[in-house]
């Protein structure tokens, strides 16, 4: 089957048009460019002001940015610009820290399928309705194991996508297979973690989006 027909079947399965997918890719490219611009501005300010928060940087910068304050802050937080607060010595109870898993695929050489699966969450608008998509791909074969669309980004949606991928590789030995993603809270949830553990797989996370490049 040709690449054209495979893609046509894929569009049909998820209920989107080829034009909608190209429009999404164009939008994603614009967002990546905006993110790079914002991060560059923040790096320049942080070199001069080590302790300036993201909101203060937004009001301080003289560089042109095409996003509002809240998006500017979100980009900053996602790229490590959130300030660390000193702990209050009088506080006697502490909330548990969020678990962040190490990047297990860095420098990894693959020689077969089911060694690394990568996943990503993306945004797409179809006929004026907002959807979130979750993709899971086998890195070695570059085969798309799951593509799941939903109207929210809750952890259960990642579980549904992962279950689809598990069905796609049903009967195969998945012990030690690395499930790699970004540091989205959905991937750190108890629901996803337990499903990965139950299938004898390993969780892995990247620090930067480009480290998840196979599915970004």
What pLDDT score was predicted for residue 17?
58
**For residue range 45-83, what is the model confidence (pLDDT) as tens digits?**
888 788 788 888 777 776 677 778 888 888 888 888 887
For the chain, domain boundaries = 3-78, 116-212
The answer to whether the CB of 59 falls within 8 A of the CB of 41 is no
Please say whether the dihedral angle defined by the alpha carbons of residues 128, 131, 4 and 6, taken in this order, is positive or negative. negative
Q: Binning pLDDT at 50, 70 and 90, where does residue 95 land? A: very low
User: Could you tell me the CA-to-CA distances from 23 to 3, 6, 26, 72, 86 in Å, in that order?
Assistant: 20, 19, 5, 23, 44
Which CATH fold topology does 116-212 show? Answer: Nucleotidyltransferase; domain 5 (3.30.420)
**For residue range 149-182, what is the model confidence (pLDDT) as tens digits?**
988 888 899 999 999 999 999 999 999 999 999 8
**For residue range 113-139, what is the model confidence (pLDDT) as tens digits?**
999 999 988 888 777 788 888 999 999
Strands (E), 59-186: 116-126, 129-138, 143-150, 178-181
Per residue in 168-205, is it b (16+ CB within 10 Å) or e — as a string?
ebeeeebeebbbbbbebebbbbeebbebbeebebbbbb
Q: Binning pLDDT at 50, 70 and 90, where does residue 36 land? A: confident
Strand pairing category for 116-126 and 129-138: antiparallel
């Amino acid at each position: 089957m040709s690449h054209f027909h495979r893609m046509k079947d894929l569009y049909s399965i998820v209920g989107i048009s080829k034009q909608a997918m190209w429009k999404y890719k164009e939008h994603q490219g614009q967002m990546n460019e905006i993110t790079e611009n914002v991060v560059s501005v923040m790096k320049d300010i942080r070199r001069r002001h080590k302790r300036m928060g993201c909101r203060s940087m937004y009001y301080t910068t003289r560089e042109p940015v095409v996003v509002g304050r809240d998006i500017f802050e979100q980009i900053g937080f996602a790229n490590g610009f959130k300030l660390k607060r000193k702990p209050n010595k009088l506080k006697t109870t502490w909330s548990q820290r969020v678990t962040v898993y190490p990047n297990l695929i860095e420098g990894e050489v693959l020689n077969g399928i089911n060694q690394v699966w990568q996943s990503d969450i993306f945004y797409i608008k179809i006929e004026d309705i907002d959807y979130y998509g979750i993709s899971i791909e086998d890195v070695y074969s570059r085969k798309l194991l799951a593509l799941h669309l939903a109207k929210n980004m809750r952890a259960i949606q990642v579980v549904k996508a992962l279950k689809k991928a598990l069905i796609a590789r049903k009967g195969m030995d998945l012990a030690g297979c690395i499930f790699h993603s970004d540091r989205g809270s959905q991937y750190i949830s108890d629901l996803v973690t337990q499903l990965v553990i139950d299938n004898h797989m390993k969780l892995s996370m990247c620090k930067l989006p480009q480290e998840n490049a196979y599915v970004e």
